[in-house]
Structure 1
């Protein structure tokens, strides 16, 4: 057993099995049936990752509840400061549905929202479409 594995065993951290249905759903959920596309395969394959990546994912999940507790504060900050905002979102995201993307528009009515026919990892599956949107947004906002 290597250093990370020993540490994880000592603190009782159960690392997710990359073959686990929940991990496959996280990375592949919401993708169009055409999952033969290379980007989709990469997103699903990356679910295995190395132990450090899996540990980071497990850690994020274990304290996610603290994000929800901060939502009111974050929404108030967005309304008060109205930062320029570009939102790119997978319309089939099984964790953060399209309604979550549209909710930002209540606090940021001038935000740009772009929905893509994909799941949680829109950037991985739609990089050729999202990269130019991002570059254009940055060119216009930070002159």
Structure 2
């Protein structure tokens, strides 16, 4: 099997729990010749910050995602009207931070929040929860 890391991610999620390694999760689609079923994977990386404030990968794994779950994630992103600016005024506090990136060579978006997302960004939190669950990660 070819390395699925060579595929452009559909969506990338970064989770930074307090006092724990950071997580990077990337949903990818990897077609295989002679297979009819769609093949979706989550590429997972656990990393820590070194003294130079650079992330160092300490563990990496892949997890298959059922096509129905991948379709649910993709549809959430396609069908949600997520405003680019949140109404929330909450700034950085102790707790877990989340980031969601998606796009392609022509456009992209980046959302970031602490603890719980603003109400209007709730579909992004659902995407994070689905990818974490499929990756076997429970915070």
Larger strand share, 1 or 2:
2
Q: Which has the larger Rg?
A: 1
Give TM-score scaled by structure 1 length: 0.29
The normalised TM-score by structure 2 is: 0.30
Question: With CA pairs under 8 Å and 6+ residues apart, which has the higher RCO, 1 or 2?
Answer: 1
More helix as a share of residues: 1
